[in-house]
Amino acid sequence: MIEVWYDTRHQFKAIVGDGFLFITVLGILEVVYLILNGMPYPADRKHFLESTHFWGAYSVLIILIVDLVMKILLSITRPK
């Protein structure tokens, strides 16, 4: 059992680390969204802010997925 953990430790750390980072960034974006949603802005400005919020979350997700894949590939190809 310990040998299995030793073999997959780097992949597990990459997955958990990137997952925690994504949840943190998503939480910050959600708090900012709730703050902006409570402000008395016109509907067209709120639509612009909501689309900016969506694309911000989407770009963070893409960056973290690429980072996760690179970390996993590097840990697989790393000599033991």
Average pLDDT, the chain: 81
Q: Is the model's pLDDT at 1 over the cut of 60?
A: no
Percent of the residues in the chain that have a pLDDT greater than 70, as a whole number: 90
Residue 80 DSSP class:
-
Q: Which residues contact 55 (CB under 8 A, 6 or more apart)?
A: none
Angstrom CA distances, 50 to 30, 35, 41, 55, stand at: 11, 12, 12, 9
Domain ranges of the chain: 2-77
**pLDDT: which is higher, 1 or 53:** 53
